[in-house]
Amino acid sequence: MIRRTTSAIATLATASALTLACAISTAHAYDEQSLSSDANWVEAQSKRIAPQATGLADDLWNWAEMGYQETRSSGAIQDHLKEAGFSVETGIADIPTAFVASYRQGRGGPVIGLLAEMDALPGVAQEAVPEHSPIEGQAAGHACGHHLFGAGSTAAAIMLSRWLKETGTPGEIRLYGTPAEEGGSGKVYMVRAGAFEGTDVVLQWHPGDQNAALPTSSLANRSAKFRFKGIASHAAGAPERGRSALDGVEAMNYMVNMLREHVPDSTRIHYVITDGGLAPNVVPANAEVFYYVRDNTAAELEPVWKRVEEIARAAAQGTGTSVEWEIIHGNHSLLPNQTINRLLDASMRQFGGIEYTKAEEKFARSLDGLASKPGRMLGDQEKIAEYNPSEAPMPGSTDVGDVSWNVPTGGFGTATWVPGTSAHTWQAVAAGGTSIGHKGMMLAAETLALAGIQMLREPALVEQATEEFERKRGNDFEYTPLLGDREPPLDYRR
């Protein structure tokens, strides 16, 4: 599984040397020699575990189970970990597919957490081919690469457990099986239930179209389904007797769209009508609209959300209907940790970028430009993006945010898709089911393992990450889940 490339090594030797030096000086408890030696061990382990990891990823890709329905996927990951000597606790936070797998060596030492997502997205089933080819009869597809996320983190956890055993170093590895990231906020319920208590740091990654350990934040997000109830009647024969629930939905949407002029530039509002009635000649007695509201932080999100709720009440009053809403999910923004992210950056650079075979390049060229993002091009997968300490938010949301406000957390992405490919597209599904996705996944597994080894070897790194975490969070911070006290919506995808 050749992945080191001349351009990646050249990047390390020239423009990125300053970045690596900065990483080493900032995270002073490890050095380049230690990284290099441990990287050789990780790379040897990676070659041994790659067939098992890619086989697991392919299974998850084929099953493509949606949020809270990942029964086979969760079970398969657990089986791999049990075989490697992990103990597994299931049903975390009353979620059947959520689990924590633990491996301990000796007494004391750092407790390193890894995240493993596993859910697919509805409506994007796609063959692993470079043209649009939906899989007939399949409801979902891994358009965000969570099959690679789950399998790659599992591989890293197993490599770390082997290192602990071989070296006798005290410490613990915890692999968190985290379902329903896509709109279900599975991790938030796990955080709320105390699953991350006692974990010193969390390392995580995400599939993407570039190799980068940038310490970005994310947008806080809350969603709800607003359900209007009216009175059914014959739309032509007795319209005066009806009270249209769809009128309530449309009135709400109209007023929310007017609200867009009076919110901060950072605010994002999205909605879809999920129930608008079934027949035009029947005044709808029931209608539903599903809203997402995002902003830079939970504090900035809250006043906009309250306005949306007030609009829902007004829409019901104005249309003679009633309304209630169910909070579906809520995520805090990511709290970046430069200490961890610089370590992840330095670790990734030990392995270099991703080299495509001729067959992979042909596949990639067939996809190139079909779902493009500005500034990305074929060949970028061979590079490691220059480390940028800016913590500006990415334009998306994740339930990892809630983890990061409770445990020092760092993350990165690798090129599991063709550079320029956007997430949540059939192109991402297609590449994720090929060796292109596998290579990006194994780079992620190696990066997680090498960074984890440094923290297990030098607990001072954990202390430094914790100091940064506590400084940024502030002494007066009190964590409050944005989804309130609701129970996990186990049927939200049905």
What is the distance between the alpha carbons of residues 152 and 57, in angstroms, rounded to a whole number? 8
At which residue do the structure tokens 């990951």 appear?
77
**pLDDT, tens digit (0-9, with 9 covering 90-100), for 374-394:** 678 889 999 999 999 999 988
Sequence spans of domains, the chain: 6-217+335-473, 220-331
Whether the pLDDT of residue 317 is over 80: the answer is yes
What is the arithmetic mean of pLDDT over 44-62?
Answer: 98
Q: Could you give the angle at the alpha carbon of 378 between the alpha carbons of 374 and 431, nearest 5°?
A: 100
pLDDT of residue 64 exceeding 60 = yes
What is the distance between the alpha carbons of residues 76 and 118, in angstroms, rounded to a whole number? 11
- Cβ-based burial of 7 (10 A; exposed 0-12, middle 13-18, buried ≥19): middle
From the options 1.10.600.10, 3.40.630.10, 2.30.29.30, 3.40.50.300, give the CATH code of 6-217+335-473: 3.40.630.10
DSSP SS3 for 257 = helix
**How far apart, in whole angstroms, are the C-alpha atoms of residue 439 and residue 54?**
9
Contacts of 89 (CB under 8 A, 6+ apart): 99, 100, 101, 102
The structure's pTM equals: 0.90
Give the model confidence (pLDDT) of 100-142 as tens digits. Answer: 999 999 999 999 999 999 999 999 999 999 999 999 999 999 9
Torsion of CA 178, 180, 182, 183, to 10 degrees: -120
**CATH architecture entry for 220-331:** 2-Layer Sandwich (3.30)
pLDDT higher than 90, residue 5: no
